[in-house]
Structure 1
Amino acid sequence: MSAHWPDAAAGVEAALFDETLACEAILPAGFAPGTGAAQLQQAEALLKGLAQVEDLRGEDSGEEKRGELPQLAQRMDAKLDLLLVLLGRLVRQSAHALPAQPLRWSVHGLRLAVPDDAGLAIGSAGIVRLQPSEWLPDDLELPATVAASALVDGQAWLWLRFRPLPASLEDALERHLFRMHRREVAARRR
């Protein structure tokens, strides 16, 4: 997004995203202010499991990779895809689903479009929840603090800085962002 951010937000934008890999996406995401504890071990397990599944499924080569598989394996892979989509729909119907929001994120934090900033003060602590993959209906929970907020063209934005994460979780997050970046680049080339 090439918005003109207010000066305070522009400084935070640079601190969160300059000189690091950052991805833009529209994902189910939200920020819940408060002092609740994020589930860091579950977040790390989710990212590592997601990476293993994407590696096994050959995420970057898509249909070309499937063409190399035996017919039975292709059918099983397609059935698994359908089952995961169905399971995701069922979970979203039975649980409080996060709204899909434009965001930009890096290992340092994220910029998130929100319905309104709810008057959150700079430094307010909370939990960022986001669904890292559209086919997997599970959320990451990461601790964050509000670093900036702004209303730009009628849209409220929050800049959220992740609180210190364990090195292994930061590494898993960095690998996930790299995969997202590769998919973005591949989609632009098509």
Structure 2
Amino acid sequence: MSADAARDSLFGDAIASEDARPLSILPPLPEARQRAALARGEALMRALALVDEARADDDAEPGSDPAVRRLEAKVDLLVGLVGALMQRDQPADPVRPLDWSARGAAVSLGPDDTVPAVGDAVVLRLQPSDTLPEALLLPAHVLAIDSGPDGARAWLRFDPLPTGLEALLERHLFRLHRRAVAERRRQR
């Protein structure tokens, strides 16, 4: 499949986001570990939705209680510290350009990265947000590879995701898209 066909397949009529996120492409997981990773991913995305939507509600209410805002700021700091502690002993994934939707992702790889072959089963390890610094593991297959002088771009179609995880991923991408549109409007 060509890169253009892969782009249309993954992003044609889907909500998508352009971002730079810590991520890696890994070999596939055994089935039991994959099921556990998808369940953990759903819990992560549910927690992220609660945090992001609560923060959006606070922005909409300028007269909210200052004591509650201070408490939320302390909780945010605590979450950041716990996340940093969790990642302290783990190697950090490099931050890479990423286009993604609930269907799949286009990932930029560096010149020194191992480039998977078209049709390979892989796992995309992706940190979806800085708010909760935990990785989401998404099983995928390589649709296309677009090679260039600065490296390659891998087009990955996610394997069928649990319905709840797919819905949460779509909500997350919608929030990212909405923030990007708002940021562009502010810059005008």
TM-score by length of 1: 0.86
Equivalents in 2 of 1:120, 1:14: separation in Å?
21
Q: Which residue matches 2:144?
A: 148
Match of 1:101 among 96, 101, 112: 96
Q: Which residue matches 2:126?
A: 130
Shift of 1:86: 2.5
Q: Which residue matches 1:86?
A: 81
Q: Residue type matched to 1:30 in 2?
A: S
Contact 2:21–2:98 (CA under 8 A) maintained in structure 1: yes
Shift of 1:186: 1.4
Q: How many residues align?
A: 181
Question: Which ranges in structure 1 are unaligned for 5 or more consecutive residues?
Answer: 1-6
Shift of 1:33: 2.3
Contact 1:35–1:125 (CA under 8 A) maintained in structure 2: no
Q: Residue type matched to 1:22 in 2?
A: A
Shift of 1:69: 2.1
Percent identity between matched residues is 40
Shift of 1:145: 0.7
Q: Residue type matched to 1:32 in 2?
A: L
Q: Which residue matches 2:51?
A: 53
Shift of 1:155: 2.7
Match of 2:27 among 33, 37, 57: 33
1:120-172 CA deviation, whole Å, 9 max, x = no partner? 21110011110111121111111101111122341321111111112222111
Equivalents in 2 of 1:177, 1:128: separation in Å?
16
TM-score by length of 2: 0.87
Question: Which ranges in structure 2 are unaligned for 5 or more consecutive residues?
Answer: none
How much is the aligned-residue C-alpha RMSD, in angstroms? Answer: 1.9
1:69 aligns with 2:67: no
1:164-185 CA deviation, whole Å, 9 max, x = no partner? 1122221111111111111111
Q: Residue type matched to 1:50 in 2?
A: L
SS of 1:83's equivalent in the other structure is helix
Contact 1:127–1:144 (CA under 8 A) maintained in structure 2: yes
Q: Which runs of 4+ in 1 moved over 6 A?
A: none
Equivalents in 1 of 2:115, 2:82: separation in Å?
36
Contact 1:107–1:170 (CA under 8 A) maintained in structure 2: yes
Q: Residue type matched to 2:14 in 1?
A: T
Equivalents in 2 of 1:177, 1:123: separation in Å?
26
